[in-house]
């Protein structure tokens, strides 16, 4: 007897397993989000250390990194950076980054 090639048959299960192995573990899709989150945390620590110009600049850099990652990576690889449509996410991240850069530029040095 030949094996069934439908989704319920053994051949379909083997093929689905090969596809999932080629994609890698699911947690790898969250690496771009975790990278942006780590940079935001570093910026927050810098702000807490009373560096009110450097901290927002680091946070703005992390937002720009998020915008670039959201723009260039496929939807399957961006993880939680994908909230809305691609252009909405990129526009929101770039707008927030620009506003933080302006804030860092006009903030008085303490």
pTM of this structure: 0.73
pLDDT recorded at residue 41: 97
Q: Measure Cα distances from 102 to 55, 64, 78, 110 in Å.
A: 13, 14, 27, 17
pLDDT in tens, 4-57: 455 555 555 554 444 444 466 788 888 999 999 999 999 999 999 988 888 999
Q: Judge contact between 85 and 58, C-beta under 8 A.
A: no
Cβ contact 67:90 at 8 Å: yes
Q: Is 42 within 8 Å of 61 (Cβ atoms)?
A: no
**pLDDT digit string (tens) for 52-83?**
888 999 999 999 999 999 999 998 888 888 89
| Consecutive H or E run containing 64 | helix 54-72
């Amino acid at each position: 007897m030949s094996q069934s090639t439908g989704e319920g048959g053994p051949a379909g299960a083997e093929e689905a397993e090969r596809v999932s192995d080629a994609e890698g573990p699911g947690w790898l899709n969250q690496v771009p989000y975790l990278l942006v989150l780590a940079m935001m945390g570093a910026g927050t620590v810098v702000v807490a250390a009373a560096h009110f110009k450097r901290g927002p600049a680091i946070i703005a850099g992390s937002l720009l990194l998020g915008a670039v990652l959201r723009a260039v990576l496929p939807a399957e690889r961006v993880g939680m950076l994908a909230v809305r449509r691609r252009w909405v996410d990129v526009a929101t991240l770039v707008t927030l980054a620009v506003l933080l850069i302006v804030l860092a530029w006009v903030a008085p040095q303490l």
